[in-house]
Chain A
Amino acid sequence: MDPLVNGVVMGLIYALVAVGFSLIFGVAKVTFFAHGEVYMLGAVGGFYFLQRLGMPYGVGIILGMLGTGIVGLLIERLLRRLRGQDLAIVVVTIALGMFIANAAMHIVGHTPLAVPGQVPGMISLFGATLALERVVIVLASVAIVLALHFYIQRTKAGHAIRAVAQDREGALLQGIDINRTTATTFFIACGAAGAAGVLLAPLYYVDVFLGSPALIRTLIVVILGGLGSFPGAIVGGLFLGLIESFGYTYIGGLTHLISFAAVIFLLIVRPQGLLGRE
């Protein structure tokens, strides 16, 4: 039971981070290699909000979301000048990630930070005893994913986001403000990553260098699920979370190889990813 619960928890966290990466790629055509660092900012911010300032969990999550969302807006302003220069964007986002991680190290230090558990207690569900905290994390991530889904599918701003992702010129001809839509995308994508960081902070130690492992997982997730696909990021995230959690329990360190083997295998049979389009 434990590997399953852990797998779902981690899978949803991966999904929250990967959804943002995928969304930014789909809408702005930006490969956002600083996304791991945005997640890190959320996690380290979580430490400050929950541990230092003693805020309630929910407030911490919302503040983390807003904070990383604003970071996303700032980065979007910077990247706007490079629109269309894909290689330059790769380098700039990697350099930004490096800068953010090292700047954070000078401010926060590089020792792991412990965030106390937020939701004590256990709960019995279907005959199994679960830590209430994990249940809360699962519910919160599902709520955020659903909110994002609703926002993109049902609201006017969401329609604009989908329109820009489908056809940039077409969207422009319809009078959609592309800059504004891209900025909105960065805001919600970074906000989701930040929320994932705060959510996860009480479960594990937090440090300023958790960005690049998170980025690598995000890359695997989006390749598995299909780059630019919203449901793909969620399926890919859950898939990776479960593989890792069951793998660590039963076979140990070789687990990483299995997820990579899955990526290679998928490339052979379905290069566009599980749910990606041609």
Chain B
Amino acid sequence: MNRHNLKNTIAFLIFPFILLVIPGITKDPYLLHILIMVGINVILCASLRLVIMAGVWNLGQIAFYAIGAYVVSLLMVYYGLSFWLVLPLAGIAAAVVALGFGYLAMRVKGMYFVILSLAFVEMIRLTIINVPFLSRYHVLNVPPPNPIIFPGLLRVEFISKVPYYYLILALVIIILAVLYRIERSRMGEIFKSIAAHEPLCQSIGINTTKYTVLAFVICSFFAGIAGGFYAPYLTLIAPRSFNMLASVMIFVPLIVGGVGSFWGPVIGATLLTVLPEILRGAVIYEPMIFAVILLLIVFFLPGALQVCPE
């Protein structure tokens, strides 16, 4: 085991432990809410990194987040299904849509894909707004997840923020571990090499379309899971929140934290979730301050945007 692996192993062991005991120290709902939102953004951002790593400039992550949120909400509200059954379905639905859209969209590359993925975000949002079945009341009220019951032992009701906190923590750990394994596997190496030089990959017999679509599907699956968690947690969802700007905002932490390192997006997502909370006092200027911070980052942290370290 080399030093790099050791460092990551420690990170995987110590951070979850600290995070695990936080609700034991404080049950402040505001703090827990921020941590839960950090968790959602970490999932969105870390999974988005996988597809960016494969050279696919996907700025449409929020579309799959929305699909996940709506699949869970509709199945829970109209069919009364259990949250634990529909959460995986949310991921699968997002993955299926990603497979279809990805297969078509991979015909275009680079900036064309950026534009197309942003257009896709609007397409999903407008579908939600305009299909009567989806937006019967425009805002959907979603029930909380069904309680977890181990007869005689334990009964977890989703009333306070604590169970949500542990649920998102579990999801974050599982998803980060899966993403980490993928990156270290042969598949991860193929993703990186496609980003570095696609024609070269094709010349040695790698089906690059297959792999880029695969990266896209994996990334969208996790985005769907995050959306599936988000809807019952916030208890109401509206199509308005799944817009293009929000989608770009998922991409931004990748730039702040750097695309090249595994922990970059995790740190970036944490910073960019906490930052607006600090700026809350200046709420009407918040978008402007945010924009200025973005500009400063890009101009004064050059190299943050490199996918592969030179």
Which A positions have Cβ atoms within 8 angstroms of B? 25, 29, 31, 81-82, 85-88, 90-92, 94-96, 98-99, 101-103, 106, 212, 216, 219-220, 222-223, 227, 253-254, 256-257, 260, 263-264, 267-268, 271
Partner of A99 from B112, B248, B255, B291 at Cβ < 8 Å: B291
Complex interface residues of chain B between 280 and 310 (CB less than 8 A to chain A): 284-285, 287-288, 290-292, 294-295, 298-299, 302, 305
Q: Is the CB of B105 within 8 A of A219?
A: no
Is B139 part of the binding interface, using a Cβ–Cβ cutoff of 8 Å? no
Partner of B115 from A29, A101, A212, A219 at Cβ < 8 Å: A219
Q: Is the CB of B290 within 8 A of A98?
A: yes
Provide the bound-state CA to CA distance between A223 and B291, in Å.
27
Q: Is the CB of A92 within 8 A of B295?
A: yes
B104: which A residues are within 8 A, CB to CB? Answer: 264, 267-268
Is B57 part of the binding interface, using a Cβ–Cβ cutoff of 8 Å? yes
Q: Among B35-43, B122-130, B173-181, B213-221, which stretch is in contact with chain A?
A: B122-130
B285: which A residues are within 8 A, CB to CB? Answer: 102, 106
B245: which A residues are within 8 A, CB to CB? Answer: 94, 98, 212
B171: which A residues are within 8 A, CB to CB? Answer: none
Known: A257-B127, A268-B104, A271-B107. A85 touches B305 (CB 8 A): yes
Shortest CB-to-CB span from B279 to chain A, Å, is: 13
B59: which A residues are within 8 A, CB to CB? Answer: 90
Q: How many residue pairs between the two chains, A and B, have CB atoms under 8 Å in the bound complex?
A: 110
Q: Is the CB of A99 within 8 A of B288?
A: yes
Is B118 part of the binding interface, using a Cβ–Cβ cutoff of 8 Å? yes
Q: Is the CB of A216 within 8 A of B291?
A: no
28 A-B contact pairs sorted by A residue (CB < 8 Å): A29-B111, A85-B302, A85-B305, A86-B57, A86-B111, A87-B255, A91-B252, A91-B255, A92-B294, A92-B298, A95-B291, A96-B295, A98-B288, A99-B288, A99-B295, A101-B287, A102-B285, A102-B291, A219-B119, A223-B115, A223-B119, A253-B129, A256-B123, A256-B126, A260-B122, A260-B123, A263-B119, A267-B107
The 0/1 profile, CB within 8 Å of A marked 1, for residues 218-257 of chain B is 0000000000000000000000000111001001100100
Q: Is the CB of A257 within 8 A of B107?
A: no
Provide the bound-state CA to CA distance between A98 and B111, in Å.
20
Known: A94-B248, A267-B116. A31 touches B111 (CB 8 A): yes
